[in-house]
């Protein structure tokens, strides 16, 4: 029987065997607490600091600017809540309508505690207009938080331009780069980013570990209180094996990003090209060029209500894809908020297929997928003939 095809790398990625090998000793013989003074503790501390340097090197930061957290979600929470608390509460935050829930729900929490929040719209490609950011900045604005790459549609934001506008106004810029780290080159200096969130499990590292880049001089209050680890910003005994895994994942991503991204982008374009012929009502959602290399967000005009069936049919044929973000795929059939924000009407916003490629995929899997997908689509209720929109252009 043919092996399964995993095309859901935006949800999570398989652990790279090299990352697992790097983590192994810290799950077994090397169990020291990095805060302990004895040899076991010092070895654990060395491993954590090596990982800190590996993560920093991925985007041009200093090791001392990296704070390890338990997830991308926690990094986002620390960036937003930590900035507002450090400024004495209240203030004003600007974000976008298509942020991950880790940012939008944190903004909602901040709103309940007296912070004003402005949510910027996006255009039909999922892009924030820098002019709308300029218009939204106020004297009280403390933080702008705009994601680098969207998890649903894969669109890359003009972070450099947004960061510059924010810096000129004199407030902090945070980017949720959970989907972008390891896939596109990032230089925090060039981009003018003050705070950046990432998560190990999106770059072939382990689940349950993330990091926040905090530019030197940026004041943050902690959101977890205790023994004062991670410069007092994230108390708790460090997840040494997880952190070592994140460091190894970052090092491999740094070495392999250029060739890997080129390979993924070639597959992405090949799939799009073939689908134009084999599934004429299929369309690409999101920006055609400003997008993650391995990310395809597909709409099937006139068949939007059939996406749950399509995901199930593909699953039964051995292909793992998703019908939206991993968080929202439990609610298939409900309008995807990201598409609504991009201006899709509620019927069209109900249906998308997210196909996200990764490091261990092969040419053979791409070919097999190109055979399986059109067959799966023919098993759905057909699109009406008068479907009048096409997204190919």
One of 107, 219, 297, 327 is an active-site residue; which one? Answer: 327
Distance CA 81, CA 143 (A): 10
Verify binding: residue 100, ligand PLP, rule CB under 6 A.
Answer: yes
Q: Please report the beta strands in 272-352, taking only residues with DSSP state E, as ranges in sequence order.
A: 282-284, 295-300, 319-320
First to last CA, the chain: 39
Distance CA 163, CA 158 (A): 9
CB of 7 to ligand PLP, least distance (A): 16
CB of 364 to ligand PLP, least distance (A): 28
Verify binding: residue 354, ligand PLP, rule CB under 6 A.
Answer: no
Which of residues 58 and 366 has its CB atom nearest to ligand PLP in the complex?
58
Verify binding: residue 329, ligand PLP, rule CB under 6 A.
Answer: no
Q: What is the dihedral of CA 126, 282, 299, 9, to 10 degrees?
A: -80
CB of 301 to ligand PLP, least distance (A): 26
Greatest Cα-to-Cα distance within the chain, rounded to the nearest angstrom: 74
Distance CA 226, CA 232 (A): 8
CB of 117 to ligand PLP, least distance (A): 17
CA distances from 137 to 40, 117, 286, 314 (A): 50, 11, 26, 45
Which of residues 142 and 174 has its CB atom nearest to ligand PLP in the complex?
174
* Contact string (CB under 6 A) for ligand PLP, positions 21-50, x = contact: ------------------------------
Distance CA 186, CA 209 (A): 20
Verify binding: residue 126, ligand PLP, rule CB under 6 A.
Answer: no
Identify the three-state secondary structure at position 64. Answer: helix
CB of 308 to ligand PLP, least distance (A): 20
Region from 57-65, 67-75, 182-190, 215-223 binding ligand PLP, contact rule CB under 6 A: 67-75
CB of 97 to ligand PLP, least distance (A): 14
Subset of residues 167 to 226 that bind ligand PLP, contact rule: CB under 6 A:
176, 178-179, 199, 210
Identify the three-state secondary structure at position 69. Answer: strand
Q: Is 327 a catalytic residue?
A: yes
Region from 71-79, 160-168, 289-297, 384-392 binding ligand PLP, contact rule CB under 6 A: 71-79
- Nearby residues of 179 by Cβ (< 8 Å), 6 or more positions away: 10, 147, 148, 149, 150, 151, 154, 202, 292, 295
Verify binding: residue 151, ligand PLP, rule CB under 6 A.
Answer: yes
Distance CA 167, CA 165 (A): 6
CA distances from 330 to 210, 335, 336, 350 (A): 24, 12, 11, 13
Verify binding: residue 71, ligand PLP, rule CB under 6 A.
Answer: yes
**# residues near ligand PLP by CB under 6 A:** 14
Residue of 80, 84, 102, 220 that binds ligand PLP (CB under 6 A)? 102
Which of residues 201 and 348 has its CB atom nearest to ligand PLP in the complex?
201
Which of residues 188 and 279 has its CB atom nearest to ligand PLP in the complex?
188
> What DSSP line would sit under 242-289, residue for residue?
HHHHHHHHHHHHHHHHHHHHHHHHHHHHHHHHHHHHH-TTEEE-S-SS
Verify binding: residue 72, ligand PLP, rule CB under 6 A.
Answer: yes
Region from 72-80, 136-144, 227-235, 357-365 binding ligand PLP, contact rule CB under 6 A: 72-80
Q: Locate 73 and state its tokens.
A: 């979600």
Region from 65-73, 183-191, 262-270, 362-370 binding ligand PLP, contact rule CB under 6 A: 65-73
Which residue in 257, 229, 245, 294 sits closest to 55, CA to CA?
A: 245
Per CB under 6 A, residues contacting ligand PLP are 71-73, 76, 100, 102, 147, 151, 176, 178-179, 199, 210, 326
Residues tagged active-site: 327
């Amino acid at each position: 029987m043919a092996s399964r095809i995993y095309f859901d790398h935006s949800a999570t990625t398989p652990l790279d065997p090299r990352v697992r090998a790097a983590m192994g000793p810290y799950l077994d013989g090397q169990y020291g607490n990095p805060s302990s003074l004895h040899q076991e503790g010092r070895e654990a501390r060395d491993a954590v600091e090596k990982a800190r340097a590996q993560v920093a090197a991925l985007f041009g930061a200093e090791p001392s600017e990296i704070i390890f957290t338990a997830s991308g979600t926690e990094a986002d929470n620390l960036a937003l809540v930590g900035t507002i608390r450090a400024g004495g509460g209240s203030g004003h935050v600007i974000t976008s309508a298509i942020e991950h829930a880790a940012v939008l729900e944190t903004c909602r929490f901040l709103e309940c505690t007296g912070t004003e929040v402005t949510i910027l719209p996006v255009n039909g490609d999922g892009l924030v207009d820098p002019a709308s950011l300029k218009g939204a900045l106020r004297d009280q604005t403390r933080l702008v938080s705009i994601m680098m790459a969207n998890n649903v549609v894969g669109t890359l934001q003009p972070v450099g331009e947004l960061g510059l506008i924010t810096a000129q106004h004199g407030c902090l810029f945070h980017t949720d780069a959970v989907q972008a780290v390891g896939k596109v080159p990032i230089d925090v200096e060039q981009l003018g980013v003050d705070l950046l969130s990432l998560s190990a499990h999106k770059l072939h590292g382990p689940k349950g570990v993330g990091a926040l880049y905090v530019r030197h001089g940026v004041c943050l209050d902690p959101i977890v209180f205790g023994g004062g680890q991670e410069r007092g910003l994230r108390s708790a005994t460090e997840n040494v094996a997880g952190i070592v895994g994140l460091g190894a994942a970052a090092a491999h991503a740094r070495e392999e990003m250029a060739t890997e991204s080129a390979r993924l982008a070639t597959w992405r374009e090949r799939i799009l090209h073939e689908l134009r012929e084999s599934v004429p009502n299929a369309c690409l959602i999101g920006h055609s060029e400003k997008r993650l290399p391995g990310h395809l967000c597909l709409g099937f005009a006139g068949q939007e209500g059939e996406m749950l069936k399509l995901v199930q049919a593909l699953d039964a044929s051995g292909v793992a894809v998703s019908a939206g973000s991993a968080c929202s795929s439990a609610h298939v059939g409900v309008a995807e908020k990201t598409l609504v924000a991009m201006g899709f009407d509620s019927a069209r916003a109900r249906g998308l297929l997210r196909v996200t490629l990764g490091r261990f995929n092969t040419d053979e899997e791409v070919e097999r997928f190109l055979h399986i997908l059109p067959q799966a689509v023919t098993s759905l209720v057909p699109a009406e003939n008068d479907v009048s929109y096409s997204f190919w252009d």
